[in-house]
């Protein structure tokens, strides 16, 4: 493949009739605008034009499956180049949108915290803030918060050093001039603290579970959630998600609920035995 052909391949693939039909099956009448926005992102990024066309396509398919727009200025989801591949990445607005769709959240938000605004840090009751007490423009950290309709609420604060150390440790694109950590540090910082809060404490819909698995991954197959982590900020979240899925499998009350979890067995083969045990239990009539 010549260099010119390689640069054009992702664009040509997304413009093909077969691919456009697949997006239309997922998004309906919104597919044309979605594809146009993805093509705009590719045309404005040399690294994406040089990236493997299929990896760009699969990242776009993941965004379509979650019904999140690919638009740098909106902050819902991104297609990020890394080497000759492309990975899918959620923004903080994407996580908030998926959480709200579940119908379980009353409030969910994230924010920059400036010097003077952090009032107290109680290890049992959480953090207290005085948002009127900003004494300078110095950012000391980031906080995420949610409350559920059932009354449960939780917040998580990370100071600026924790955020930077997290980015440097886990993100291979942290120091890249074109990476989101450098072009929009606040957005990545808020996304980091929000994602940690949700993955650890929130009830996660099937859609949100897919998003956590897919975030910062190269998507090999959307339907089976077969992913590969290039920029691995995921180990802790994915380990936590595996434990959460195991609990859902073990506590499934009917086969319809259990069958919705089948898609994750390829990503988490260690859950296969638990899935079969749950299936056998339900076939015999439920809890013994």
> Tens digit of pLDDT per residue, the chain (288 long)?
434 444 448 889 999 999 999 999 999 999 999 999 999 999 888 888 889 999 999 999 999 999 999 987 888 999 988 878 899 999 899 999 999 999 999 999 999 999 999 998 877 777 899 999 999 999 999 999 999 999 999 999 999 999 999 888 877 777 777 677 888 899 889 999 999 999 889 988 888 888 888 888 889 888 888 888 765 545 455 566 777 788 888 888 888 888 888 877 766 767 888 888 888 888 877 544
State the DSSP string of the chain: --HHHHHHHHHHHHHSHHHHHHHHHHHGGGHHHHHHHHHHHHHT-HHHHHS-HHHHHHHHHHHHHTT--B-TTT-SEEEEEETTEEEEEE-HHHHHHHHHHTT-EEEEEEEEEETT-EEEEETTTEEEE-TT---SS-EEEEEEEEEETTS-EEEEEEEHHHHHHHHHHH-TTTT-TTSHHHH-HHHHHHHHHHHHHHHHHS---HHHHHHHHHTTBEEEETTTTEEE-SS---HHHHHHHHHHHHHHHHT--SHHHHHTTGGGGTT-GGGHHHHHHHHHHHHTTS--
- Identify the pLDDT of residue 240: 64
Domain boundaries defined on the chain? 3-90, 103-203, 234-288
Would you state the structure tokens that stand for residue 91, as one six-digit string?
């923004």
Round to whole Å and give the CA distance between 216 and 235: 11
Using alpha carbons, select from 206, 192, 202 the residue that is nearest to residue 234: 192
Contact residues for 122 (Cβ-Cβ < 8 A; gap 6+): 128
- Identify the pLDDT of residue 177: 74
Round to whole Å and give the CA distance between 127 and 124: 9
Round to whole Å and give the CA distance between 254 and 265: 18
Q: Are strands 105-114 and 139-148 parallel, antiparallel or unpaired?
A: antiparallel
- Identify the pLDDT of residue 7: 46
Overall pTM surpassing 0.85 (yes/no): no
């Amino acid at each position: 493949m010549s260099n010119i052909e390689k640069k054009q391949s992702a664009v040509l693939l997304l413009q093909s009739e077969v691919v456009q039909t697949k997006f239309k099956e997922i998004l309906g009448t919104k597919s044309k605008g979605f594809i146009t926005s993805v093509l705009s992102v590719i045309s404005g990024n040399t690294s994406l034009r040089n990236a493997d066309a299929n990896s760009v396509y699969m990242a776009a398919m993941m965004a379509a499956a979650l019904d999140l727009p690919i638009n740098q200025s909106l902050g819902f989801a991104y297609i990020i180049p890394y080497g000759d591949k492309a990975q899918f990445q959620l923004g903080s607005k994407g996580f908030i949108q998926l959480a709200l769709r579940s119908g379980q959240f009353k409030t969910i938000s994230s924010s920059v915290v400036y010097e003077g605004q952090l009032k107290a840090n109680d290890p049992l009751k959480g953090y207290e803030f005085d948002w009127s007490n900003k004494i300078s423009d110095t950012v000391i950290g980031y906080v995420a918060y949610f409350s559920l309709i059932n009354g449960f609420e939780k917040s998580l604060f990370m100071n600026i050093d924790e955020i930077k150390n997290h980015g440097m440790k886990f993100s291979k694109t942290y120091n890249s001039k074109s990476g989101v950590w450098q072009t929009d540090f606040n957005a990545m910082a808020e996304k980091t603290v929000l994602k940690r809060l949700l993955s650890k404490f929130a009830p996660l819909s099937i859609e949100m579970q897919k998003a956590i698995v897919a975030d910062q991954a190269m998507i090999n197959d959307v339907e089976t959630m077969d992913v590969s982590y290039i920029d691995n900020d995921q180990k802790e979240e994915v380990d936590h998600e595996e434990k959460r899925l195991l609990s859902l499998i073990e506590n499934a009350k009917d086969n319809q609920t259990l069958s919705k979890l089948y898609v994750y067995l390829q990503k988490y083969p260690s859950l296969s035995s638990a899935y079969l045990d749950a299936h056998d239990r339900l076939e015999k009539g439920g809890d013994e």
